[in-house]
Amino acid sequence: MNLDQQFLNNSLRSYIVIGTIFIVAFLVKRLISRFFASLIYTWIDKKNHSDLRKSHVHRLIVPIEQFLIYLVAVIVLYELQFPAQWNIHLYKLTLQIVVEAIVKLFFIILFIRVGLRVLEFVAIILEEKAKLTNDQTDDQLILFFRDFFKVILYIIGFLLILHFVFNENIGNLVTSLSIVGAAVALSMRESLENIIASFIIFFDKPFTIGDLVKVNNFTGTIEKIGLRSTRIRTQDKTYISVPNKQMVDSIVDNISLRTERKIELDLQLNVNTTATQLAAYSQYIQNEISQLKNVSNVMAYVSEVGKQYHVLHLECLVSMQLEFNEFIALKEKINVTAIQYASDHTIRFATTV
């Protein structure tokens, strides 16, 4: 067999060498891809748990394999001479230029795909590590930066395609985009303010996911902190979105960070209630509530006197560790105690005219 025999402008020896390289690459692609995937996992997670390692590394093996095979194909095929008889003209381009452009396009797509898989791979591992902590801010922060870097990778891929496939000058394009970007920034000032506010929320941490907050007369639980707005599930089970700029500029009452809840009660008593009855009533209420569990700083006193009614004011603090249903039950017990005493001692409540 004559290995120097020419076939489509290339020797038989060249085809054999290329075929051998392909076979070797196909045989070792799994080993190489697993090595790189394990290396990335070990770099992120120093503990290197075997179960997590096995389940996560598998996500990255296939895209790395495809990229390696294609990379080898591009390198070895570029060593071959393009057949002269195939080099026909398509409009103003030759078939060789078109084929090279298609090869570059697929190479860039696979490269960006591997980058996206690596990003998701890293995000998943960091998410599982973040779940081990009680703070939910890091969970949201990982998702936020995962989406942010995904956009960056897509932009990089778009610019690479323009430069290597369509031979566009990226420098001029970036300059043009900068001018356009400045104009867009002026027209989207409010959206940019919300994006900046989202970074302030992430790093300043006035509240986190799962916190019960009160803002703009709405009370609810933070379910998501997005790039533009914060989503809150209200106590009425509605789902509202508040722009991040408002969350930063407004006074936000983070109820979850309170150490105690306050219970307040104003009893409007009939003007015929005597001073002795009022004093006895306030003393009784204060003594009774002070004996209740999880209650502290009890105060009961006559806060107002007038022609229409007298006001007996009651307030106390309740531990935040108390479940909501228990809190409601305690509040009901205090109200019933106040009503029961008034009924037993013939104290009448004021009536509205």
For 95-149, how does the pLDDT look when each residue is reduced to its tens digit (9 = 90+)?
777 878 888 888 888 889 888 888 888 887 777 777 777 666 666 777 777 877 8
Given a cut of 80, whether residue 29 has pLDDT beyond it is: yes
Contact 220, 228 (CB under 8 A): no
Return the minimum-mean-pLDDT range out of 35-44, 109-118, 252-261, 337-346: 35-44
246 and 308 belong to one structural domain? no
Q: How far is CA 280 from the centre of its chain?
A: 56
pLDDT of residue 180: 60
Q: In 39-132, which ranges are E strands?
A: 89-90, 93-94
Specify if 291 maps to a domain.
yes
The percent of the chain in helix, strand and coil, each rounded to the nearest 5, is: 60, 20, 20
Q: Are 269 and 278 in contact (CB under 8 A)?
A: yes
Indicate the average pLDDT of the chain.
81
What's the CATH code of the domain at 301? 3.30.70.100
Same domain, 66 and 94: yes
* pLDDT reported for residue 76: 75
Determine the Cα–Cα distance for residues 37 and 223; give it in Å rounded to an integer: 33
97 and 10 assigned to the same domain: yes
Which pLDDT tens digit goes with each residue over 37-61?
Answer: 777 777 766 665 555 556 666 777 8
Residue 81 within any structural domain of the chain: yes
| Residues 263, 70: Cα–Cα separation, whole Å | 69
Determine which of 125-129, 175-179, 222-226, 232-236 has the lowest per-residue pLDDT on average.
175-179
Which range marks the domain in which residue 337 is found? 259-344
Position 332 in a domain: yes
Question: 128 lies in a domain?
Answer: yes
Number of domains into which the chain is organized: 3
- 311 shares a domain with 300: yes
Higher local confidence (pLDDT), 77 or 312: 312
Q: Does 144 share its domain with 263?
A: no
Same-domain status, 165 and 100: yes
Q: Could you say which of 151, 185, 219 is where a domain stops?
A: 185
Integer Cα distance of 214 and 199 in angstroms = 21
Tell me the CATH number at 236: 2.30.30.60
- H or E element in which residue 29 lies: helix 12-44
Asked whether the predicted pLDDT for residue 269 surpasses 90, the reply is: yes
Residues 98 and 156 in one domain: yes
Reported as a pLDDT band with limits 50, 70 and 90, residue 334 is very high
Q: Which of 185, 208, 234 is the last residue of a domain?
A: 185
pLDDT of residue 97: 79
> Could you tell me if 13 and 151 lie in one domain?
yes
Q: If phi over 0 gives left and psi between -120 and 50 gives alpha, with beta otherwise, what is residue 218? A: beta
Q: Is residue 286 part of a domain?
A: yes
Are the CB atoms for 242 and 229 separated by under 8 Å? yes
Following CA atoms 231, 234, 239, 241 in sequence, which dihedral angle do they give, to the nearest 10 degrees?
-40
- Per the CB < 8 A criterion, the answer to whether 194 and 244 are in contact is yes
Q: Is the pLDDT of residue 8 over 90?
A: no
Collapse the DSSP code of 51 into the 3-class scheme (helix H, G, I; strand E, B; otherwise coil) and give the result.
helix
Which residue in 241, 242, 248 sits closest to 197, CA to CA? Answer: 248
DSSP label at residue 349 = B
Same domain for 232 and 301, yes or no, is: no
Query: Does residue 319 lie within any of the structural domains?
Result: yes
> Are 265 and 252 members of one domain?
no
pLDDT for residue 279: 92
C-alpha to C-alpha distance for 345 and 347, rounded to whole angstroms: 6
| Region class of 252: left (phi > 0), else alpha (psi between -120 and 50), else beta | beta
Question: What backbone phi and psi angles, to 5 degrees, belong to 28?
Answer: -105, 0
Look at residue 273 and tell me if it is in a domain.
Answer: yes
DSSP state of 270: E
Residue 206's pLDDT band (cuts 50, 70, 90): confident
Task: Report the C-alpha gap between 67 and 108 in whole angstroms.
Answer: 10
* SS3 assignment, position 64: helix
Q: Which of residues 157, 185, 213 is at a domain's end?
A: 185
pTM of the predicted model over 0.95: no
Q: Residue 115: which residues within 8 A CB-CB, separation 6 or more?
A: 153
| Same domain flag for 76 and 169 | yes
pLDDT value for 80 = 72
DSSP state of 299: E
Per-residue pLDDT band for 333 (boundaries 50, 70, 90) equals very high
Question: Is residue 191, in this structure, part of any structural domain at all?
Answer: no
Write down the number of H helices and E strands in the chain: 9, 12
- Are 42 and 158 within one domain? yes
